[in-house]
């Protein structure tokens, strides 16, 4: 197969796809991957050909400013404006080559519009929870409810008139259901009764991504319990939180690896205790292989990676789907959740120690770990994609 993969410029959307890209290319399929230049090495190492953004799309990503700050409508507005900017580029790429299938990110790829425009199957790549409905009540999608909502309807109408296609509902745009869909977790963890096979393929997390070189030596941990702390790669300006972590675990019998991101400096934390390793970046996958507890922002990708290795989590959600992820962890007894704003050293330490001692949570994490390993090690996702394309061609 000749496949076009469409994505954007965020770790949480691209990293989950890399394992799938590698499996596709290893099976002899050709994959062209459209994304920002910062991920060009990642995708080419997986065997794909990289296709970069135009200056126009780069400019949009840098200059976009929301018309208001409503959490849901701001996301919808961004999705729609991104779709409007990216669709001409995708269609130009398609003119230059004959593709058997397009796989596009559910937020960054315009799947809802593409499947009406192109004559090949459009598969949606869901880097977070796949949803069968919007997370807001229907009354909030009625025109006139909010000025930013009305702006979304204006963009939607403009896109559909440009391509002379039927106007989908905003719910259809948001849920972004393709002709087929890929979700990078288990069906159980996804937790939406309206999302099920065969329309959705549950592929498990990707652990194929390239990590920056790091002289990490975990032999210093010895027999101690290892606590891993990271708030991801975007919202990391939490200096007080990092100081709270040091206060909570200073000179304890635990060894702590703490990644603080690029918005704080290690020097701002004062003296680092001997049982701490603190850096702006740490190789997450390597640490998760050995970690006993993960204190996390509850990003969907990070959580799935931790579950792959059977690591219980203390979730400290901040934005977007992180609150949903944290609730899912708690409801499935895979971890605990706290507010980062109300966290004291005493609470942080007691919650972490409770997780270390909780045998039920550890058993549940190991159970879902086995399920995820079965999914990621299986060739079923690639086989089902190939079969889907063959069936599509026969039907057409």
Residues 39 and 152 in one domain: yes
State the pLDDT at residue 57: 86
Q: Is residue 362 part of a domain?
A: no
| Block residue for tokens 């006993």 | 292
State the pLDDT at residue 234: 81
The runs of H, that is alpha helices, within 134-277 are 147-163, 170-175, 187-190, 239-249
Q: How many domains does the chain have?
A: 2
Q: Is residue 367 part of a domain?
A: no
State the pLDDT at residue 237: 85
pLDDT exceeds cutoff 80 at 144: yes
Note the pLDDT tens digit of each residue in 246-305.
999 998 999 999 999 988 999 999 999 999 999 999 999 999 999 999 999 999 999 999
Beta bridge partners of 50: 33
Q: What is the mean pLDDT of residues 48-59?
A: 91
Domain that holds residue 388: 2-209+374-395
The pairing of strands 293-296 and 101-105 is unpaired
Q: Higher pLDDT residue, 339 or 319?
A: 339
Residues 123 and 247 in one domain: no
Q: Is residue 369 part of a domain?
A: no
Strands (E), the chain: 2-6, 30-34, 49-51, 101-105, 122-126, 180-183, 200-202, 226-230, 255-259, 276-279, 293-296, 313-315, 335-337
Q: Is residue 145 part of a domain?
A: yes
Query: Mean pLDDT for the chain?
Result: 94
Residues 21 and 104 in one domain: yes
Binned at pLDDT 50, 70 and 90, residue 335 comes out as very high
Residues 205 and 293 in one domain: no
For the domain that residue 286 is a member of, what is the CATH number? 3.40.50.2000
State the pLDDT at residue 269: 94
State the pLDDT at residue 383: 95
pLDDT exceeds cutoff 60 at 213: no
Binned at pLDDT 50, 70 and 90, residue 207 comes out as confident
Residues 106 and 64 in one domain: yes
């Amino acid at each position: 197969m000749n496949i076009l993969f469409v994505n954007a410029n965020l770790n949480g959307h691209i990293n989950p796809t890399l394992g799938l890209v590698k499996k596709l290319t290893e099976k002899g399929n050709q994959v062209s991957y459209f994304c920002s230049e910062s991920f060009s090495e990642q995708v080419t190492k997986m065997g794909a050909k990289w296709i970069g953004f135009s200056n126009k799309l780069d400019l949009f990503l840098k200059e976009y400013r929301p018309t208001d700050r409503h959490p849901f409508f701001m996301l919808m507005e961004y999705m729609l404006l991104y779709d409007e900017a990216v669709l001409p580029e995708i269609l130009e790429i398609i003119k230059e080559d004959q593709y058997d299938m397009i796989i596009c990110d559910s937020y960054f790829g315009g799947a809802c519009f593409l499947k009406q425009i192109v004559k090949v199957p459009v598969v949606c790549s869901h880097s977070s929870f796949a949803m069968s409905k919007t997370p807001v009540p229907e009354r909030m999608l009625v025109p006139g409810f909010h000025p930013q909502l009305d702006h979304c309807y204006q963009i939607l109408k403009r896109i559909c008139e440009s391509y002379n296609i039927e106007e989908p509902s905003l719910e259809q745009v948001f849920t972004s259901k393709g002709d087929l869909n890929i979700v990078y977790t288990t069906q159980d963890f996804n937790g939406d009764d309206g999302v099920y096979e065969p329309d959705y393929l549950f592929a498990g997390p990707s652990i194929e991504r390239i990590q920056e070189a790091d002289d990490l030596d975990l032999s210093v941990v010895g027999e101690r319990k290892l606590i891993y702390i990271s708030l991801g790669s975007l919202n990391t300006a939490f200096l007080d939180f990092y100081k709270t972590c040091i206060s909570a675990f200073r000179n304890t019998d635990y060894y702590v690896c703490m990644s603080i991101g690029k918005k704080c400096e290690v020097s701002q934390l004062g003296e680092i205790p001997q049982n701490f390793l603190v850096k702006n970046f740490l190789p997450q996958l390597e640490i998760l292989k050995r970690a006993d507890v993960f204190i996390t922002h509850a990003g969907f990708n990070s959580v799935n990676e931790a579950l792959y290795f059977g690591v219980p989590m203390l979730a400290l959600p901040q934005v977007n789907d992180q609150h949903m992820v944290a609730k899912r962890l708690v409801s499935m007894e895979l971890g605990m959740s706290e507010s980062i704003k109300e966290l004291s050293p005493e609470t942080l330490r007691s919650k972490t120690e409770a997780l270390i001692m909780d045998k039920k949570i550890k058993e549940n994490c190991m159970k879902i770990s086995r399920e995820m390993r079965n999914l990621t090690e299986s060739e079923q996702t690639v086989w089902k994609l190939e079969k889907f394309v063959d069936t599509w061609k026969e039907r057409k």
